[in-house]
Amino acid sequence: MHRLLILGLVCAMTAPLVHARAIPNPAQRHAPGNEELQKPIAEAGYGVGVNYQLQCAGCHLGNGMGSPANDTPRMTGFVGNFLKVPGGREFLVRVPGMSQSALNNAQLADLLNWLLREDGMAGKSMPANYQPYSAEEVAQLRAATMLNLPGTRAELIKAMRAQGIAINDGMSN
């Protein structure tokens, strides 16, 4: 009984301290180096490589190899094939990870153009007649929501197969 009484007394005395720590101190200053508010990504001025890491690598991995276990296709050596079929160019902008990213239209156009370089992720999958994306084109395409990602992608893969394009995106289509 004596122990129980002491335990209750200790709890009663420390409870205000525990609760006080849960309430932020309004006079507390930012940690050194964090005095400024974080800029939105669309205003941060990051390069395309950083934007890829922030917007794409979480699913497609840092090297663009994707993850079939997470239903994420490989981009490396394959993504340029979308530009070879009708609707593929639009698809690349409308993929939710792109269209709903925090990037502005110019940053998204730059990221797509960076991905689609022959010396980039697209590699040999790039069509010879590639026309770079512009911020204006991205803005227009981004405004139209893709309602059926799997169905749209399946139709594009079907069109690629009809052209004899090998489907080596790591998925079991």
pLDDT tens readout for residues 60-79: 888 888 888 778 888 899 99
pLDDT at 105 over 90: yes
User: Does residue 129 belong to any structural domain of this protein?
Assistant: yes
d(CA 156, CA 133): 19
Q: Which residues, including other chains, have CB under 8 Å from residue 3's CB and lie 6 or more apart?
A: none
Mean pLDDT for the chain overall: 84
User: Does residue 2 belong to any structural domain of this protein?
Assistant: no
User: Does residue 29 belong to any structural domain of this protein?
Assistant: no
Q: Quick one: pLDDT band at residue 41, thresholds 50, 70, 90?
A: confident
How many domains would you assign to the chain?
1
Determine the pLDDT at residue 48: 85
Environment class of 33 (CB within 10 Å of its CB; exposed 0-12, middle 13-18, buried 19+): exposed
Mean pLDDT on 82-87: 95
Determine the pLDDT at residue 106: 94
User: Does residue 79 belong to any structural domain of this protein?
Assistant: yes
Residue 106 and residue 48 in contact, taking contact as beta carbons nearer than 8 Å: no
Residues linked to residue 67 through DSSP beta bridges, in sequence order:
72
Domain that holds residue 91: 46-162
User: Does residue 7 belong to any structural domain of this protein?
Assistant: no
Q: Quick one: pLDDT band at residue 53, thresholds 50, 70, 90?
A: confident
Q: Positive or negative CA dihedral for 156, 151, 117, 66?
A: negative
User: Does residue 143 belong to any structural domain of this protein?
Assistant: yes
CATH number at residue 116: 1.10.760.10
Residue 152 and residue 105 in contact, taking contact as beta carbons nearer than 8 Å: no
User: Does residue 107 belong to any structural domain of this protein?
Assistant: yes
Determine the pLDDT at residue 158: 94
Q: Quick one: pLDDT band at residue 56, thresholds 50, 70, 90?
A: confident
pLDDT at 25 over 60: yes
**DSSP, res 59:** H
User: Does residue 14 belong to any structural domain of this protein?
Assistant: no
